[in-house]
Chains A and B, each alone.
Chain A
Amino acid sequence: MLLRRVLAGETRVYAQLVDRYRGRLGRYALRMLGNRDDAEDALQDSFIRAYRSLARCEGPHGFGPWIFGILVNRCRTHAAKRARTQGIMVRDDVALAAASVAPSESRDGLRDAIARALEQLPVEQREAFLLKHVEDLSYEVMERVTGVRPATLRMRVFRARDELRKLLAETVRD
């Protein structure tokens, strides 16, 4: 187990844990916060916080859900801070970051529309939607990650889907 090796003093092994989870966690942070700088700050901060309290991660559920919980909290903090200071989402960053994956003009337009729609969702709905449908987490794991009861999470996912459907109705039809 990589975790045990890090706790035994092999600090460099932590890089393997970062490499294993950075893609998935980074995608969540980017979709949640809407710009790459904030997403990378939240991600880096989460990995460092996780390292500091790594000894507390010796439960049966593993490193993945545990650090996901830390990242969810960091994203909430970033989102709240930004809402206080500016209320702006740099949508172009999302399109730019995704552009190298599939350089299609219409697809870029769709990405931009999706980012704008996500931005309009309340933070807790955006969070629940991304965890359920993009990260494919079960409601049981979502409860561990967010600290929110499954019934509440189901309601948030439902409302987010409903809202996104309305916001993106024309875009998807096109």
Chain B
Amino acid sequence: MTEQDDSLEPIIEILREPAVLRADLTDRVMSEIERLPLPGPAAPNPVRWWRRGWTIRLTPLRGLGLAAGLAALLFAVRLGGRPRVGPVVPLGARAMTQFVLIAPTATSVTVVGDFNDWSMSATPLERAGGVWSVAVPLGPGRYRYAFVVNGAIWQRDPEAPAADDEFGRANSVVTVGGT
């Protein structure tokens, strides 16, 4: 059994063309769900257990001991529980990040990623010879991304570290700000 045979590739390429759907689909979904109750979970049993009334009986001596123990615990947590903080980066600082793909035969290339909500139209690359590129301002962080060639072919950046997306598809990763 092989999946390497590429005789179906022209067919798969056509099947990967974007589907044209009615523009108001999102509006129709939203008008339906706005009539529905919020999708919050029912209160779990442990919460109800915790919220029920409690009665603790203590002698004065044991009460003092318990209070001292709690104070010591709080002190220890304050000393050792400080979260680790990464390098300080000014709020709102953005770095221009260049995305480049060499694709001489491509007719269009866009970049999709965490920074543009994986929109296939938001960030097109410009062509110069066989090289496609675009500069995107990105704040500090780690972003997954991929190129979409000719509106249909998903391609990871061969020059960047790889990371699978939620569908198990190969993407690339760029880290801005050294985090």
Interface residues, chain A, with chain B CB atoms under 8 Å away: 6-7, 9, 11-12, 14-16, 18-20, 22-23, 26-27, 29-31, 36, 39-40, 43-44, 47-48, 51-55, 61-65, 68, 97-98, 100-102, 107, 110-111, 114, 130, 132-138, 140-141, 154-155, 157-158, 161, 164-165, 168, 172
| A residues near B38, Cβ cutoff 8 Å | 9, 11
Question: 18 A-B contacts, Cβ less than 8 Å apart?
Answer: A6-B39, A14-B29, A14-B33, A18-B26, A20-B119, A22-B21, A27-B18, A30-B19, A36-B21, A40-B22, A40-B25, A55-B39, A61-B166, A62-B166, A97-B20, A133-B12, A134-B15, A138-B164
CB distance A134 to B167 under 8 Å?
A: no
Shortest Cβ distance from residue B21 to the other chain A in the assembled complex, whole angstroms? 5
Of A44, A54, A137, A158, the contact of B25 (CB 8 Å cutoff): A44
Shortest beta-carbon contacts, A-B, top 9 = A138-B168, A62-B166, A55-B41, A54-B39, A27-B19, A141-B168, A64-B166, A30-B19, A97-B20
| B residues near A168, Cβ cutoff 8 Å | 8, 11
Tell me whether B52 is interfacial, beta carbon within 8 Å: no
| A residues near B16, Cβ cutoff 8 Å | 27, 134
Contacts between chains A and B (CB distance < 8 A), count:
146
How far does the alpha carbon of A63 sit from the alpha carbon of B167 in the complex, in Å? 10
Tell me whether B10 is interfacial, beta carbon within 8 Å: yes
Shortest Cβ distance from residue A80 to the other chain B in the assembled complex, whole angstroms? 22
CB distance B11 to A23 under 8 Å?
A: no
How far does the alpha carbon of A134 sit from the alpha carbon of B10 in the complex, in Å? 12
How far does the alpha carbon of A140 sit from the alpha carbon of B166 in the complex, in Å? 11
| A residues near B120, Cβ cutoff 8 Å | 23
0/1 interface trace, chain B 37-52, chain A, CB 8 Å (1 if under) = 0111100000000000
| B residues near A47, Cβ cutoff 8 Å | 29, 33
CB distance B40 to A7 under 8 Å?
A: yes
